[in-house]
Amino acid sequence: MSALPQTGGREITFRDAVRDAMFEELGRDPNVFLIGEDLRDPWGGAYKTTVNVSAVYGNDRVINTPIAEESIIGAALGAALAGLRPVAELQYLDFVMRAMDAVVNQVAKVRYMSGGQARVPLVIRAQGGGGKSSAAQHGNSLESWLCHVPGLFIAHPSTPYDAKGLLKTAIRLDDPVFFIEHKMLYMNKGYVPDGDYTLPFGVADIKRRGTDVTIVANSRMVLYALEAAELLAAEGISAEVIDPRTLVPLDEATILESVAKTNRLVVVNEGVERCGWAAEVAAMVQKRAFSDLDAPIERVCTRNVPLPFQPDLENYVLPSVPDIVTAAKTALYFN
C-alpha cells in the first residue's frame, strides 16, 4: 500500500498526469503510439489530454482516426499483435458498445486462444462517469461490464498520482488494460513525484485509516468517501477509506484485513446498483469474511435508471456524500 506524497514533486491536474504519463512513455519506448479521435494539435483530444504531444512526437505516433470505435480498437489490436504498444482512446466509455465485439471476442481472448503465443500490449483509455449533464448516452459508468470479461485488466484511478503511475504501468504490460478516467476528475490537482515511477496493479491504497467502518470506493467516489469520512469523524465515527485503484486485479487482502478490524463494510461505486462491481466486492467479503461482519454490507450506487440530463435529476440518481454517510451509519448502528 502506498501513501499519496504530500511533499516534493509537482502539484498538477489529473488531466496533466494522464498526459505526462503518455508523453514520457512515448519518449521511453519507440513502440508506443497513440490512436483515437482528434488527438493531434490543435485539439489535443476531447479532454485535452494530448495537447502538444503531436508537436513533439509527430503524426506518425499520434494518429487521428474517424469516429469509428470498432476500427480504432481493431487497428490497435493488430498493431499490438505486431509488436507495438498502442494507447487507444474512445473518448467516452459509453462508446465501447460500438467496439464490444473487438474488445470482448478479440482483445481479451487472443492471448488465451493462442496458448500464450500472442501478446496484446494494448491500453484502451476512455472517459466515464456522470456529473456533467452528459445524459444517458455519454455519462455512464460501465466498468462492471468490463470487469465481467476475462482477460482484461481494469484500472480506475482517483488521483493524479495514481493516474500517472498506473497508466505508465499499463503501457508497459503485455496484456490489455482498460484505463478509465472519470471526466469530473480532470481538473482536480494532486502531487506527483519528480522522475519516472510506476504503481503495481492489484495493490489498493488506504486513503484514510479508521476503526469503525470500512468504505471501499473507486474513482470519483473515493473523493466522496473521503468527504463522508470527514463528516462521520465530526460525529465520532472513524471510517477507513480504501481505493482499490485497479478493479481487475482486485486487492482482496487489503479489503478483508480492514473488514476484520472494523467489522462493517460500505461499498461505493458510480455504476448502477444491479449486478454491479459493488455487488462483486460485497459477495467476496460475504464469502471470505462472513464471521467478521457485525452488520449487513451496504452498497451506495447509481439508481437503476438511465442517467438523466437535467442536473438536479442527475444528482438525485448518482451516489452522493450524504448517501455514503447514511450507509455508514446504517452499518454501524445495525442491531
Measure the CA dihedral 81/101/200/19, to 10°.
80
Provide the 10 A C-beta neighbour count for residue 163: 33
138 is catalytic: yes
Question: Which residue out of 25, 37, 69, 314 is catalytically annotated?
Answer: 69
314 contacts 307 by C-beta, under 8 angstroms: yes
CA distance 125 to 123: 6
- What grid cell was written down for 49? 489530454
Q: What stretch of H or E contains 153?
A: strand 153-155
Considering 138, 156, 182, 298, which one is annotated as catalytic? 138
Residue 226: CA count within 13 A, CB half-sphere? 14
Distance, CA of 297 to CA of 302 (rounded, Å): 17
What is the DSSP-derived secondary structure letter of residue 7? Answer: S
CA distance 53 to 22: 9
Residues in the chain: 335
CA distance to 209, 287, 293, 300, 320, per residue, from 290 (Å): 22, 6, 6, 20, 27
Compute the distance between CA of residue 129 and CA of residue 109 in angstroms, rounded to an integer.
27
Could you tell me if 33 and 86 are in contact, meaning their C-beta atoms sit under 8 angstroms apart?
yes
Give bridge partners of residue 35 from the DSSP assignment. 63, 88
Q: For the purposes of burial, counting CB atoms within 10 Å of the CB of 172, is it exposed (0-12), middle (13-18) or buried (19 or more)?
A: middle
Q: In what order do the strands lie in the sheet with 123-128?
A: 62-64, 32-36, 85-92, 123-128, 177-182, 153-155, 246-248
Q: Which residues are marked as active site?
A: 69, 138
